[in-house]
Amino acid sequence: MEPSSEPLALPAGFPADATLPAVVVELGRRFEAAGHALSLVGGPVRDLFLGRPVVDLDFTTDADPDATERVGAGWADAVWDVGRRFGTIGFQQGGWQLEVTTYRAEQYDPASRKPQVAFGDSLEDDLLRRDFTVNAMALRLPELELVDPHGGMRDLAAGVLRTPGAPEDSFSDDPLRMMRAARFASQLGFTVADEVERAMTDMAERITIISAERVRDELVKLISGRDPRAGLDLLVRTGLAEHVLPELPALQLETDEHHRHKDVYAHSLTVLEQAVEQEARYSDASPDVVLRLAALLHDVGKPATRRFEPSGAVSFRHHENVGAKLVRKRLKALRFDNDTVKAVARLVELHMRFYGYGDAGWTDSAVRRYVHDAGDLLPRLHALTRSDVTTRNRRKAERLAHAYDDLERRIEEIAEAEEMAAVRPDLDGEQIMALLGIRPGPVVGRAYRHLLEWRLDEGPHEPEVAEAELRRWWAEQPEASASSSAAPTER
């Protein structure tokens, strides 16, 4: 049977513009011919009715993994079995990836992070083990018959998350489903049924048996959704955040009786929302996880640095430095990659740098330093700084926006004049060693840093001027007089 690349129109009862890749029915016919049942299940069925593009093609079958592999042999372009122990065999066909899993009953041992997998013998039992009713629907193949024993269509229409059985049983089977509820609130705009939220609250501590990597992956999907605030609010409200991201609920500082500082938690969620809006302007990535994490966590240093001053004001001195350390520690605990950890922590550290620009103005040297310190993160720092303005004082907000417009204009002007995007000293390490007659070592690094600071302060110079400055600096160093080999050489 030759695979077709044409999309398949669906029968009455489906959205008018809903289509499936023809490969779905082709695979169903192959299983039928082999005497096995096959159904498209879970997310792709849900997305068909939501009018979302179907990307993941997940199937469930009564065939065991060996039988599944035989069905695809000679038809699939490629086969992989890394999920065999969980009952999953993967196929690639015509540019599509298809994962077929044997009916199963999966649950967690109360003290274990790893699922115990047992294969089931019916589609209905398999659907009962699914996380939410909207994901517990299936299309029997090849006939495209909808199977919906738990009211998934009803809940889909209402935009409500319920579990097929008791939520306590579902979350006991796989505690990560509690975070998945928050993720769907962010991605799909669903609300959570009262009994589901109660179970999440009562069982929040059970999330601690899940590996940091799986928690991280769910958190990234939540942050990347169209309404991350809804998902994060649910994590905080149910107490899950206390276990997976405790710095977030810690932002719910008690407001003093005179309300001399804003609600830091609400402010942080608003900054995140505004950063999402800024992505199109400043980021090549959408969603930009680094920017969104930095926006959410930029003020996590405030609880530890809050002080009530004698004047009655509330201060958070150096909260950006404290926050950067907390962010670094938390993201490492969640097993984020080093590049993400460094980038988010650096943005948190720099997010206060701009304030004061509009009042006092900056020299060209200060503008150069701002660009140099941000490095490749400069566009994200622009987005974060603009997003951090949540004041209801319209005049103040406009003043800060105009000030940042001015800073960006000056950065562009100086960059054009000096090619500032790649600011380096006027002399490189080889030139420094040749000029001073020294070997590689710490002194070369000190000289390089001095020339870089000088370059940032005063802008670029001709080589002769840079050489004169290097000789002047060298004459003040103890190594210059301590070693006869340190005498400057002529070029």
The pLDDT of residue 146 is 93
| pTM recorded for the entire structure | 0.80
Rounded Cα distance between 325 and 307, Å, is: 19
Rounded Cα distance between 84 and 93, Å, is: 19
Residue 225 tokens, joined:
């959704």
Q: Do residues 34 and 66 touch, judged by C-beta distance below 8 A?
A: no
Angle between helices 442-458 and 429-436 (to 10 degrees): 110
Q: Where in 371-458 does DSSP place strands (E)?
A: none
Q: Do residues 191 and 255 touch, judged by C-beta distance below 8 A?
A: no
Q: What count of Cα atoms within 13 Å lies in the side-chain half-sphere of residue 149?
A: 12
Q: Is the dihedral of CA 179, 183, 188, 194 positive or negative?
A: positive
The pLDDT of residue 106 is 57
Question: Which three-class secondary structure string do you get for 186-240?
Answer: HHHCCEECHHHHHHHHHCHHHHHHCCHHHHHHHHHHHHCCCCHHHHHHHHHHHCC
The pLDDT of residue 292 is 98
Q: Is the dihedral of CA 243, 244, 249, 251 positive or negative?
A: positive
* DSSP strand pairing (104-108 vs 115-119): antiparallel
Q: What count of Cα atoms within 13 Å lies in the side-chain half-sphere of residue 79?
A: 16
Greatest alpha-carbon pair distance for the chain in Å reads 92
Rg (CA), the chain: 29
Name the H helices within 19-81. 22-33, 43-50, 65-72
Check residue 12 and report its DSSP letter.
Answer: B
Q: Would you report the helix, strand and coil content of the chain in percent, each value rounded to 5?
A: 55, 10, 30
Element (H, E) at 367: helix 364-374
Rounded Cα distance between 458 and 332, Å, is: 38
Give the angle subtended at the CA of 245 by the CAs of 243 and 248, to the nearest 5°.
120
Element (H, E) at 445: helix 442-458
Rounded Cα distance between 219 and 86, Å, is: 24
The pLDDT of residue 4 is 46
All domains in the chain, ordered by first residue: 1-158 (3.30.460.10), 160-245 (1.10.110.30), 266-422 (1.10.3210), 429-486 (no CATH)
The pLDDT of residue 490 is 43
Residue 205 tokens, joined:
């501590």
Phi, psi of 362 (to 5 degrees): -120, 150
Report long-range pairs for 390-399 (Cβ below 8 Å, ≥24 apart). Answer: 390/262, 390/267, 390/270, 390/271, 390/274, 399/358
Beta bridge partners of 99: 58, 90
The pLDDT of residue 487 is 47
Q: Do residues 47 and 54 touch, judged by C-beta distance below 8 A?
A: yes
The pLDDT of residue 439 is 82
Give the angle subtended at the CA of 462 by the CAs of 461 and 467, to the nearest 5°.
90
Q: Let me know how many helices (H) and strands (E) the chain has, helices first.
A: 24, 15
What does each of the 491 residues of the chain score in pLDDT, given as a tens digit? 344 445 666 666 777 777 788 999 999 999 999 999 999 999 999 999 888 888 889 999 999 999 999 999 989 999 999 889 889 999 999 889 999 999 986 555 666 556 566 788 899 999 999 999 999 999 999 999 999 999 999 999 999 999 999 999 999 989 999 999 999 999 999 999 999 999 999 999 999 999 999 999 999 999 999 999 999 999 999 999 999 999 999 999 755 444 445 689 999 999 999 999 999 899 888 899 999 999 999 999 999 888 888 877 888 889 999 999 999 999 999 999 999 999 999 999 999 988 867 666 788 888 888 888 898 999 999 999 999 998 888 888 888 888 889 889 988 887 776 555 456 677 788 888 888 888 888 888 888 888 888 877 777 788 888 888 888 888 888 887 665 444 444 43
- Compute CA 19 distance to the chain's CA centroid, rounded to the nearest angstrom: 30
Phi, psi of 423 (to 5 degrees): -65, 120
Name the H helices within 89-160. 123-128, 152-158
Give the DSSP per-residue string, 324-359. Answer: HHHHHHHHHHTT--HHHHHHHHHHHHHTTTTTTHHH
Q: Do residues 73 and 81 touch, judged by C-beta distance below 8 A?
A: no
Respond yes or no on whether the N-terminal peptide bond of residue 3 is cis (omega within 30° of 0). Answer: no
Q: Do residues 182 and 236 touch, judged by C-beta distance below 8 A?
A: no
Element (H, E) at 431: helix 429-436
Element (H, E) at 40: strand 38-41
Name the region of 172 (left: φ>0; alpha: ψ -120 to 50; beta: rest): alpha
Q: Do residues 57 and 99 touch, judged by C-beta distance below 8 A?
A: yes
